[in-house]
Amino acid sequence: MLPVGFSVAASTRVGNFLGSNEPKSAKRNSTVSTLGSLCLSGSVAAVLFASNHETWPRLFSNDEDIVKAAARTVPLLCAYIIADGVQVTLSGVIKGCGRQCAALPIIIVAYWLVALPIGYYLSFDLNGGQSDCDTGFCGVVGLTTGMTVGTWVHFLLLLILICCTNWNLEAEKAQNRIRENNTTKPNVSYIAVSNDDQVEENDIENAALAQNMQTDDDSFFAGLELRQINPEVQQVEEEAAYRLQMRAMEDDDLDEAKNFERLKADL
């Protein structure tokens, strides 16, 4: 699980650099993340290999047969840890490039076409299918061998894929995805621009109208919040409204008086 941090960092950084049209920085970050994951995984594998192989299994079981069988798998697990740690980081680089579909056939080849047949043959066909053999690659050692070989194939295929990556092309694809996303999902602050950078007048008007409506709504709710917080503001508004109402009533009384004088003159 330790190299997962490198994987997340590589995915985020590579995606950001490609989105910023910086392919060299994206390539450099993928290299640094891969080397960091390799050093970390190699250190863990070295510690595991240098220690007594029966020490770690005894933490989980006191059965001597289980301890001895698990101890035989430790060298294979050390090789597995190195390949698995690096492939996790390489998978993060693939995600940052937006090429998740490219990893699917690699997984199928590595585990279904390589690891599974090897593990099945070594565990159930070799030595007559004996699972309790003390030497060789039969039994649980065979299963571990199949998984280790499959993980190394997974790691090597991902490494080849990354080494053959055209980072300038990936940056261009990222820019195209950004433009397509902005075109299909506009917001109130976005002014749509066509692929040939020609600004459409209707899009500008619609965006401006939507932005003005949003501004009016913000002003209304801001004023409402201000009246709720400050009672003095509310009192001033109520007095102003009362004065307007009284002025309207005075105007109505004046109009009625003029109409009465006019009617009286006609009589």
> Given a cut of 70, is residue 23 above it in pLDDT?
yes
Min mean pLDDT across 98-102, 196-200, 231-235, 240-244 is at 196-200
Predicted pLDDT at 41: 95
Q: Where are the domains of the chain?
A: 4-183, 201-266
Predicted pLDDT at 206: 63
pLDDT tens for each residue of 89-137: 999 999 999 998 999 999 999 999 999 999 999 888 877 655 566 677 7
> Given a cut of 70, is residue 190 above it in pLDDT?
no
**What is the full DSSP assignment across the chain?**
-TTHHHHHHHHHHHHHHHHTT-HHHHHHHHHHHHHHHHHHHHHHHHHHHHS-TTHHHHTT---HHHHHHHHHTHHHHHHHHHHHHHHHHHHHHHHHHT-HHHHHHHHIIIIIIIIHHHHHIIIIIGGGG-SS-SSTT-THHHHHHHHHHHHHHHHHHHHHHHHT--HHHHHHHHHHHHHHHHHHS--TT---B-TTSPBPHHHHHHHHHHHHHHHHHHHHHHHHHHHHH-HHHHHHHHHHHHHHHHHHHHHHHHHHHHHHHHHHHH-
pLDDT above 90 coverage of the chain, percent: 49
Q: Average pLDDT, stretch 197-204?
A: 56
Predicted pLDDT at 234: 62
